Structure 1
Amino acid sequence: MQRPLTGLTRRNVGRELLAGVTLLAIAIPLNIGYAQIAGLPPTAGLYALVVPAVVYALTVSSRQLVASPDAAAAALVASSIGGLAVAGSADYVTLALAQAIIGGVMFLLLAVFKLGFLANFLSKPILVGFVGGLALDILVAQVAKMLGVRIDSGGEFVDKVAGLFTGLDTLNWWSVLISVVSLAILLLGRRFARAVPWALVVLVLATVGVVIADLDDAGVAVLGPVEAGPPTLTWPVIDWTTWLVLIPSAMALTLVTTAEGLLVSRSYGEQRDYATSPNRDLFAFGLGNLAAGATGGFTVGSSTSRTAAMDQAGSRTQLPSLVTALGTLVLLVFGTGLLEDIPSPAIGAIVAVAIVPLLGIREFARLWRADRFEFAIAAACFLVTLFIGSIPGILVAFVLALVNLAKRAANPAIDVLASTGEPTESLLDEAPAGSVTAPGVIVVRLAAPLFFANGAIFGDAVKRAVEAAPEASVRHVVIDMEAVTDVDVTGAESFAALQEWLTARDIDLGFSRVRPDARARLVDLGLLGDNAVYETNRAAIAALEN
């Protein structure tokens, strides 16, 4: 087990501390923006950078993955709690804390029972569509903020778009100017000097401009008073039925974070040559979210953008997260007055720039070129998430994942070899080179488990191979089981039905190169051992295996 801050040495401590200052400058404006997306006070985003970040940094196996609320998590919080309480109210905050605690428990269960593989059902197309739908919903609210147009940020996507267009007559030109200048600084700065924390630069300049010109009196919305003081221990007090209502949304948050977090953790571990432990990472996410729910934060996930920024800054330890936690704590205790005049259009511009890559435009284009079916899966997740909601979106994502899995499993590679000793064309793929059979024997190679989704397809393939051979030339059909790892009851029934069909034509059915686990299954299902189907083909199988 790695020690906390593994990789920290005297030689790199200065670089790690500097990276921590950079992370602090990036995280504070983003977390304030994400808290607003979630419908929570700014302190909820800042509290998530203190105790949860420390707990996570000291327990995770990844040396680089940055844990923090992100845009997708914030949008999920808003969409799932928005119908239960008024955004910004005390009840709303309480529900967000409870949601984080439920998510923390789920992470711990995934870690203890080693169930992280469940996140593999969220394939790339599903994540692209799901996160893209959330991102576009967020983007509409940020555009309204940048234009100075007031809309119901907790409403449905269609209502937000309608509110944006109908509210254009209330557009505030000072807000537009702040937004345009902020976007120019962020985009040009990122292109020519990526190491500079441009989000912080934008906040400072915009705030100074608002204060000097009294732009809040001209209609420019500002952040307003921010509660001062460190995070304190708390516990959400709600009835048990409300806890149950929050479970689906907490599950969605957990699965999305698991899929993205483990992938990013493993990716950087492989790139930088250090070992990671998926279950330990899940355990760290669990503790981090419990800490968030108990100290006034909200759901903590993995931040891909901040992790990439730390990697580019040369950081290879979790020290920057600890530096950020300390800096945020100092700000909460002594400097919240500095946050009151931050203009909302500047926050909107910062969040919008962070959100646009999550729309997945390039990923959608890549899926369109590579696989139209997977593109359709991504598009379906995108539309359901956008127009119906995040929880239906995650449910549809799982259904589509199963459909995609069944579609691929139902079309396995089946190689058929004719009795002449020369390979014929495979029914679904080219036959492997060098495969031959004895006269009168057809070998069928199935490169997949035989189960309910492909049993009938496999049986039809064997029948077509027999019918395509010269009349009465086939005496034996042997199933090459080398690549068959399992057989279910439906698959066994397909074998039995195939046996009856072959027996009616005086053709024996046998099995070759059966794996030990698959052999045990076939014995249990009555298809091997003393079964006559196997015994009558012993000679043919021995000839082939030798």
Structure 2
Amino acid sequence: MIFTRLFPFLTWFKLVTKASLKADLIAGLTGAVIVLPQGVAFATIAGLPPEYGLYTAMVTPIVAALFGSSLHLVSGPTTAISIVVFSAISHYAEPGSDEFVSLALTLTFLAGVYQLAFGLARLGAMVNFVSHTVVIGFTAGAAILIASSQLQHITGIFVPKGESFLHTLLDLYQGAGSANFYLITIGLVTLITTILVKKFFPKLPNLLLGMVVGSILALYFKEFTADIKLVGEIPAHLPPLSMPNFSFATIKMLAPEAFAVALLGLIEAVSISRAVATKSNQRIHANQEFIGQGMSNVVGSFLSSYAGSGSFTRSGLNYASGAKTPLSAIFAAIILMLIVLLVAPLMGYLPIAAMAGVILVVAYNLIDFHHIRETLSFSIEESAVLITTFLATLFLELEFAIYLGVLLSLVLFLGKTSTPSIPTLSLDKTQTNGKKKLIDINEKPLKQCPQLKIIRIDMSIYFGSVNHIQKRIATISENERINHILIVASGINFIDLAGTEALIAENNRLVKNGGCLYFVGLKPSVYEFAAKSHFIQQVGISRFFDTKKHAIEHIYKKLDREICATCPALIFDECQP
């Protein structure tokens, strides 16, 4: 057991067969062809030399596959992470410079340490509190930022480094008259080719073919303009050893940005792995996925790789290609190494305008139009989160946009759980198998006892919900003049100390008025905590019941007989003459 925790690949390695090896090899070959242009494009977005995207696509998938939990997740460079890396480091160094690369490696190491710590501390459940709407809003905003940053390469209009979104648009508008027709043609032809290949020949590597067509067109246009810039030759070797900058000043400077990268990377990886797992009927262990992502980034920082995460495109394609085990991701990385050794020099002929055209397609695919329409149509709260995160991504620092989105998710979650449903129940006289059922009076108009109010609390009683629950009990006591309140507690998942204190206070107030709080159907775990916190002792053990029948029998004895004598409801068996 301890070996499988330390080396989780021992678990899925048992699934490897001759048939699965063949399926994984085919899926790996497909993945390698797809990630070749993506790696170059993503590194460009991150402000790094193109080879660093390929190095990341070689190292990160192997480590993440060995130490993660998903059978189909493929890690590596991603668009969202790349733009956050660029945003975080471009304040401190010139993109593409040696200092920029060094800081990117340090950022990657710190992000990996954060992720590893989260996994070891078993904080995988925290991803559940980040709304998927936040991710949709952030990626949509990131897509527009990416597109706007590439327009200068397609048009040839000069835009200073580090310009904000609005300033970039202003620079492009003011320089529209100096746009280069040849660069625009290269970018558009690359873009159109990529889209058409995807539509009519979906099995072919559309991004790669788009780059090839753009490169051929650039060779032809070279006779007419000198403004066509090339990506430059990519070194034809495997990821070299590297060393992050471990100076205290650098770590202190990058720690906040690294936390944002770590958080976004974990949200991406776990969300994607769960999405694919729903199709493959696999259970994902979020803590192990955290460890896998953390290990991949820590190891990657010493092998010339920048921060990576799970890729939705490559993971989905990996599953669709018939992959059976994480060996497919490992095969993809190894095949990519072989491809780079053979064809890396050819990448030197790739025009930056063609690369920008490919990146525009990548950016467009980031926008989840389907879920955006659904969110805006059906939920006001989720729409507010989506729009806020989207605008924050465009106009504020990207790290702050991530934090703001997470904060909004938590506020939304707390808002929903702080106002639990508290329906009023009454006995239905319609016999069901000889028993009367307690049902919600909103579902069926029923008579109610004028002295005993029966309510059900459908969520947990904790510091966030106590105010709502206290108001409900106070309304019953003060407005309806009912001081005997029976709480059907079967829907309560837990009670914290703030919850017990609030219930004790309400019980004491009801006791002064001649009534009391009663509880029926507490779950064993909730009852155990209530006993340990002395809640049961202070309310009185005689006020807690296992069945509704026993609870009503006990409470009926405490009701005012004069009121019972003139009561028109007579809903309990005890009420009958």
Alpha-carbon offset, residue 151 of structure 1: 2.0
Q: For 1:117-516, list aligned pairs within 5 A.
A: 117-152=125-160, 154-214=162-222, 217-417=225-425, 440-467=451-478, 469=480, 474=482, 476-516=484-524
SS of the residue aligned with 2:157? Answer: coil
5+ residue gaps, structure 2: 431-435, 555-577
- What is the CA–CA distance in structure 2 between the aligned matches of 1:71 and 1:410, rounded to whole Å? 36
- What is the CA–CA distance in structure 2 between the aligned matches of 1:458 and 1:236, rounded to whole Å? 53
Q: Residue type matched to 1:462 in 2? A: I
Offset from partner CA, 1:211-253 (integer Å, 9 cap, x none)? 3442694312221233343222121234212112222222222
SS of the residue aligned with 1:479? Answer: strand
Q: Is the 8 A contact 1:5 1:63 kept in 2?
A: no
Q: Is the 8 A contact 2:270 2:286 kept in 1?
A: yes
2:102 is the counterpart of 1:94 = yes
SS of the residue aligned with 1:460? Answer: helix
Alpha-carbon offset, residue 30 of structure 1: 1.1
Quick one: structure 1 residues 23 and 404, their matched pair in 2 at CA, closer, same or farther if it must change by over 3 Å?
same
- What is the CA–CA distance in structure 1 between the aligned matches of 2:524 and 2:220, rounded to whole Å? 79
- What is the CA–CA distance in structure 2 between the aligned matches of 1:545 and 1:85, rounded to whole Å? 76
Q: Residue type matched to 1:402 in 2? A: L
2:525 is the counterpart of 1:517 = yes
Structure-1 residue corresponding to 2:575: none
5+ residue gaps, structure 1: none
Alpha-carbon offset, residue 418 of structure 1: 5.6
Alpha-carbon offset, residue 298 of structure 1: 0.5
SS of the residue aligned with 2:261? Answer: helix
- What is the CA–CA distance in structure 2 between the aligned matches of 1:271 and 1:540, rounded to whole Å? 42
- What is the CA–CA distance in structure 2 between the aligned matches of 1:354 and 1:6, rounded to whole Å? 36
Q: Residue type matched to 1:506 in 2? A: G
- What is the CA–CA distance in structure 2 between the aligned matches of 1:510 and 1:449, rounded to whole Å? 17
Judge which range, 323-332 or 99-108, deviates more. Answer: 323-332
Q: Residue type matched to 2:235 in 1? A: E
Q: Is the 8 A contact 1:146 1:175 kept in 2?
A: yes
Offset from partner CA, 1:239-276 (integer Å, 9 cap, x none)? 21211222222222222222221232233234224454
SS of the residue aligned with 1:25? Answer: helix
2:40 is the counterpart of 1:29 = no
Alpha-carbon offset, residue 535 of structure 1: 4.0
Q: Residue type matched to 1:453 in 2? A: G
- What is the CA–CA distance in structure 2 between the aligned matches of 1:284 and 1:536, rounded to whole Å? 50
Q: Is the 8 A contact 1:235 1:294 kept in 2?
A: yes
Judge which range, 376-385 or 53-62, deviates more. Answer: 53-62
- What is the CA–CA distance in structure 2 between the aligned matches of 1:6 and 1:154, rounded to whole Å? 50
Alpha-carbon offset, residue 400 of structure 1: 0.9
Judge which range, 7-16 or 51-60, deviates more. Answer: 7-16
Alpha-carbon offset, residue 455 of structure 1: 1.6
Structure-2 residue corresponding to 1:79: 87
Q: Residue type matched to 2:266 in 1? A: T
Q: Residue type matched to 2:457 in 1? A: L
Quick one: structure 1 residues 339 and 545, their matched pair in 2 at CA, closer, same or farther if it must change by over 3 Å?
farther
- What is the CA–CA distance in structure 2 between the aligned matches of 1:7 and 1:329, rounded to whole Å? 26
Q: Is the 8 A contact 1:446 1:483 kept in 2?
A: yes
- What is the CA–CA distance in structure 2 between the aligned matches of 1:371 and 1:105, rounded to whole Å? 37
Q: Is the 8 A contact 1:38 1:74 kept in 2?
A: yes
Aligned length: 540
Judge which range, 149-158 or 292-301, deviates more. Answer: 149-158
Offset from partner CA, 1:27-63 (integer Å, 9 cap, x none)? 1111111111111001111111223332233333322
Alpha-carbon offset, residue 208 of structure 1: 2.6
Alpha-carbon offset, residue 514 of structure 1: 2.4
Q: Is the 8 A contact 1:437 1:544 kept in 2?
A: no
Structure-1 residue corresponding to 2:113: 105
Identity %: 23
TM-score by length of 1: 0.90
Q: Is the 8 A contact 1:107 1:282 kept in 2?
A: yes
- What is the CA–CA distance in structure 1 between the aligned matches of 2:534 and 2:328, rounded to whole Å? 61
Alpha-carbon offset, residue 377 of structure 1: 0.8
- What is the CA–CA distance in structure 2 between the aligned matches of 1:6 and 1:193, rounded to whole Å? 36
SS of the residue aligned with 1:149? Answer: coil
Quick one: structure 1 residues 430 and 203, their matched pair in 2 at CA, closer, same or farther if it must change by over 3 Å?
farther
Quick one: structure 1 residues 9 and 541, their matched pair in 2 at CA, closer, same or farther if it must change by over 3 Å?
closer
SS of the residue aligned with 1:444? Answer: strand
2:74 is the counterpart of 1:63 = no
Structure-2 residue corresponding to 1:39: 47
Quick one: structure 1 residues 536 and 342, their matched pair in 2 at CA, closer, same or farther if it must change by over 3 Å?
closer
SS of the residue aligned with 2:255? Answer: helix
TM-score by length of 2: 0.85
Judge which range, 166-175 or 28-37, deviates more. Answer: 166-175
Quick one: structure 1 residues 82 and 520, their matched pair in 2 at CA, closer, same or farther if it must change by over 3 Å?
same
Q: Is the 8 A contact 2:24 2:331 kept in 1?
A: no
Q: Is the 8 A contact 1:444 1:462 kept in 2?
A: no
Alpha-carbon offset, residue 81 of structure 1: 0.9
- What is the CA–CA distance in structure 2 between the aligned matches of 1:128 and 1:200, rounded to whole Å? 27
SS of the residue aligned with 1:414? Answer: coil
Quick one: structure 1 residues 395 and 278, their matched pair in 2 at CA, closer, same or farther if it must change by over 3 Å?
closer
Alpha-carbon offset, residue 502 of structure 1: 2.2
Q: Residue type matched to 1:110 in 2? A: F
Judge which range, 389-398 or 266-275, deviates more. Answer: 266-275
Alpha-carbon offset, residue 321 of structure 1: 3.0
SS of the residue aligned with 1:442? Answer: strand
Q: Is the 8 A contact 1:148 1:221 kept in 2?
A: no
SS of the residue aligned with 1:453? Answer: coil
Alpha-carbon offset, residue 482 of structure 1: 2.1
Q: Is the 8 A contact 1:416 1:465 kept in 2?
A: no
Q: Residue type matched to 1:74 in 2? A: S
- What is the CA–CA distance in structure 1 between the aligned matches of 2:282 and 2:415, rounded to whole Å? 37
